[in-house]
Amino acid sequence: MSDKDLSWRFAEDFVVESAEIMQARQHSLEQGVEAVSPAMGAQIGVIAAATRARTIIEIGTGLGVSGLWLMSGAPEATLTSIDIELDYQQSARKAFTAAGIPINRARFITGRALDVLPRMNESSYDIVLVDADPHSVIEYVEHGLRLARAGGTVLVAHALWRGRVADPVQRDDTVTDYRTLLREIAGSSAVHSALSPVGDGLLQLTKVSD
């Protein structure tokens, strides 16, 4: 194992997850749903805390792991979470209840994100987390930047897509979409951007202005 791999593993093992997040993660594994890694969860929680987020929208509920991490950093926030799978959202709601998150702080919208997002208010969210269908990642980020307020942050999970984005041999459509997104963001003056290798890549975009 290389030094970089050892450091990556150390960063993942360094995180201590709450019992509620661990249970949601276990349910995700049982359902075959890929959740954000512990280190990525901790990082989005820190960003939520540093932002003092009050309004968060999440594209991709999963079984609640990412939402629990966001709310751990911003317990006074209201989270809107979109997913096409009702069963997943029901599990996430139970996880939120177990974590003591008031029911009025979490709104779950069941539906196709590309149908729901155009109806959401622009420039209204402190944080937008994109963790859904990778084939639509560019469209999700475009919506995310529209929905984020000036100074708000769009977070894109899995931005290195299982290590494949960094491998020039990989040229499938998903990898190409992530590379296109990263290339366009790198040259944009509309955001401050950073790409972290935590988990399988967390792209962070802070919106400069409306």
- C-alpha dihedral sign at 81, 62, 85, 175: positive
Neighbours of 68 (CB within 10 A): 28
| 136, 177 contact by CB (below 8 A) | no
Q: Which of 52, 89, 34, 56 is nearest to 201 (CA)?
A: 34
Q: What is the pLDDT along the chain (210 residues), one digit of tens a residue?
A: 687 889 989 999 999 999 999 999 999 999 999 999 999 999 999 999 999 999 999 999 999 999 999 999 999 999 999 999 999 999 999 999 999 999 999 999 999 999 999 999 999 999 999 999 999 999 999 999 999 999 999 999 999 999 999 999 999 999 999 999 999 999 899 999 999 999 999 999 999 987
